[in-house]
Chain A
Amino acid sequence: MDETKYGFWFPPDVSVHGRQIDSLINIVHWFMLLLFVGWGAFFVYCLIKYRARPGHTASYLPPKAQFTKVIEVGVIVIEVLLLFGFSTPVWFRYKNHPPTEKDALVVKLVAEQFAWNFQYAGKDGKFGKTAEANISADNPVGLDAEDPDGKDDIITVNQFHVPVNKPVIVQISSKDVIHSFNIPVLRVKQDAVPGARIPIWFQATQAGHFELGCAQLCGLGHYRMRADVLIDTPEDYAKWLAESAPPPAEQPTSAAPENPQSAPQK
Chain B
Amino acid sequence: MSASTTHGHAAAAHAHDAGHGHHELPFWRKYIFSVDHKVIGVQYAVSALVFLFFGFCLMMLLRWQLAYPGQPLPVIGKLLSESTMPGGVMAPEFYNQLGAMHGTIMVFMGIVPLAVGGFGNYVVPLQIGAPDMAFPRLNMASYWAFLPGGILMLLGFVAPGGAAQSGWTSYPPLSDIATTGQTIWLLAMVLLITSSLLGSINFIVTIVQLRAKGLTFFRMPFFVHAQFVTSFLLLLAFPPLEAASVMQLMDRLAGTSFFLPSGLVISGEQLHVAGGGSPLLWQHLFWFLAHPEVYVLILPAMGIIAEVIANNTRKPLWGYRLLVYSAIFLGFMSFVVWAHHMFMTGMGTTMSTFFQTTTMIISIPSVVILTCFIMSLYGGAIRFTVPMLFATAFLPMFAIGGLTGLPLGLTASDIYLHDTFYVIGHFHYVVAPGTIFALFAGIYYWYPKVTGKQMNQTLGKIHFWVSFICINGIFMPMFWQGMAGLSRRLYDPTIYAHGRAVQSLNVLISWSAWGLAIAQLPFIWNFFSSLRRPKAAENPWQATTLEWAAPSPPPHGNFVTPPVVYRDPYEYSVPGKAKDFSPQFAAGEA
Contact = CB atoms under 8 A, between A and B. Distances in A.
Given A188-B415, A195-B262, A72 B368 contact: yes
Contact of B261 (A8, A22, A184, A195): A195
Given A87-B411, A87-B412, A184-B485, A1 B497 contact: yes
B349 A213 contact: no
Interface in B38-56: none
B562 interface: no
- Chain A, interface size: which category? 35 or more
Contact of A8 (B377, B417, B484): B484
A191 B174 contact: no
Interface in B494-519: 495-498, 500-502, 505
Nearest to A7: B501
A75 B379 contact: no
A220 to B, nearest CB: 4
Contact of B377 (A31, A47, A190): A47
Interface in A1-59: 1, 3, 5-11, 18, 20-22, 24-25, 28-29, 31-32, 35-36, 39-40, 42-43, 46-47, 50-53, 56-59
Given A8-B480, A35-B403, A71-B371, A52 B363 contact: no
A145 interface: no
B380 A50 contact: yes
B406 interface: yes
B96 interface: yes
13 contacts: A3-B497, A9-B484, A36-B396, A46-B380, A94-B412, A96-B349, A113-B266, A189-B415, A191-B344, A215-B344, A218-B174, A223-B92, A265-B266
A262 interface: yes
Given A21-B412, A62-B318, A223-B490, A8 B483 contact: yes
B412 A86 contact: yes
A113 B92 CA distance: 14
B148 interface: no
Contacts of A40: 396, 399
Given A193-B346, A224-B495, A135 B379 contact: no
Interface string B468-501: 0000000000001001110101111101111011
A191 B414 CA distance: 13
B5 interface: no
Contacts of B99: 217
B110 to A, nearest CB: 21
Interface stretch (B127-135, B245-253, B353-361): B353-361
A10 B166 CA distance: 29
A3 B501 CA distance: 8
B112 to A, nearest CB: 23
Interface of B: 91-93, 96, 99, 161, 165-167, 171-174, 177, 179, 261-268, 270, 278-280, 313-316, 318-319, 344-346, 348-349, 352-353, 356-357, 360, 363-364, 367-368, 370-371, 374-375, 377-384, 392, 395-396, 399-400, 403-404, 406-407, 410-413, 415-420, 480, 483-485, 487, 489-493, 495-498, 500-502, 505, 572-575, 580
A175 interface: yes
Contacts of B483: 8-10, 25
Given A25-B413, A132-B270, A189 B419 contact: yes
Given A177-B177, A190-B344, A264-B267, A42 B498 contact: no
B104 to A, nearest CB: 14
Contacts of A213: 487, 495-496
Nearest to A177: B174
A224 B174 CA distance: 17
Contacts of B491: 220, 222-223
Contacts of A72: 364, 367-368, 371
Contacts of B262: 195
Counting chain B CB atoms within 10 Å of each CB, the highest count among A7, A8, A80, A135 belongs to: A8
Contacts of A90: 412
A253 to B, nearest CB: 16
Nearest to A25: B413
A238 interface: no
A56 to B, nearest CB: 5
Contacts of A50: 313, 377-382
Nearest to B345: A191
A71 to B, nearest CB: 7
Contacts of A20: 412
B261 A28 contact: no
Counting chain B CB atoms within 10 Å of each CB, the highest count among A20, A65, A80, A226 belongs to: A65
Interface in A113-144: 113, 132-133, 135-137, 142
Contact of B280 (A112, A187, A193, A222): A193
A51 B382 contact: yes
Given A7-B501, A72-B367, A94-B412, 13 more contacts: A6-B500, A11-B485, A25-B407, A31-B406, A46-B374, A57-B573, A58-B573, A82-B360, A177-B174, A189-B419, A220-B165, A222-B490, A224-B492
